[in-house]
Amino acid sequence: MRIENLIHKKRSVLLFLPSQNFNEHEFLIISNSLEAAGYKIFIVSDSSFLCIGSNGLKIKNDVLLFNARESNFAGFIIIGGSGTRNYWSNSSLQNLAKKFASKNKPVGAICSAPIVLAKAGLLSENATCFPDDKKALEREGVEFKNMPVVKINKIVTGQDPASSTEFINTFLFELSKL
């Protein structure tokens, strides 16, 4: 492998967006912070066209969900929003998160997205999520913590759009350890 390819992979992060109703605030804070820290972001989704945010922001994905490979990226984040609830039981998304975790790469989920990680078996102790989704998290055997961010090992969960900055700073710290 060429050294340029290795450096590129260490500086790339995969962001999952639901095809509809992703949280634009979370997406913009997280993507801008990653880029400001020198990371290249790639958008993954199951949408063949555009991902549409809760206020109409349209984002073209770079990778289709079934084509995403953890070996090409340093970390993985699932962006929240009401549309993320449609992906809680998505086995492709769960498997992708598990592959990142199995390679000891940082995995993050914010707002409604931590439920995906819980259903994938990646959250064994406690986590945070959007308070309206607390019961869904607890049904998976995960204790809800009413905190902006909870990090256990390399898994980072964020509560809501207001926690986006703290969430991405925690995630960036985990990336810096690679």
Query: Tens digits of per-residue pLDDT, 132-147?
Result: 999 999 999 999 999 9
Q: Is the pTM of this model over 0.85?
A: yes
pLDDT of residue 10: 72
Average pLDDT over residues 49-57: 96
Residues constituting the chain: 178
d(CA 67, CA 49): 15
pLDDT band at 48 (very low <50, low <70, confident <90, very high): confident
Query: What are the b/e assignments for 19-31, b being 16+ CB within 10 Å?
Result: bbbbbbbbbebbb
Q: Specify which residues 16 forms β-bridges with.
A: 44, 78
**Is the per-residue pLDDT at 4 higher than 60?**
no
Domain residue ranges in the chain: 3-176
Question: Tens of pLDDT along 65-102?
Answer: 999 999 999 999 999 999 999 999 999 999 999 999 99
**Is the per-residue pLDDT at 104 higher than 50?**
yes
**Is the per-residue pLDDT at 156 higher than 50?**
yes
Q: Which residues contact 49 (CB under 8 A, 6 or more apart)?
A: none
pLDDT band at 26 (very low <50, low <70, confident <90, very high): very high
pLDDT of residue 9: 54
**3-176 CATH, one of 3.40.50.880, 1.10.3210.10, 3.40.190.10, 3.30.1360.120:** 3.40.50.880
pLDDT of residue 5: 43
Q: Which residues contact 101 (CB under 8 A, 6 or more apart)?
A: 107, 122, 154, 155
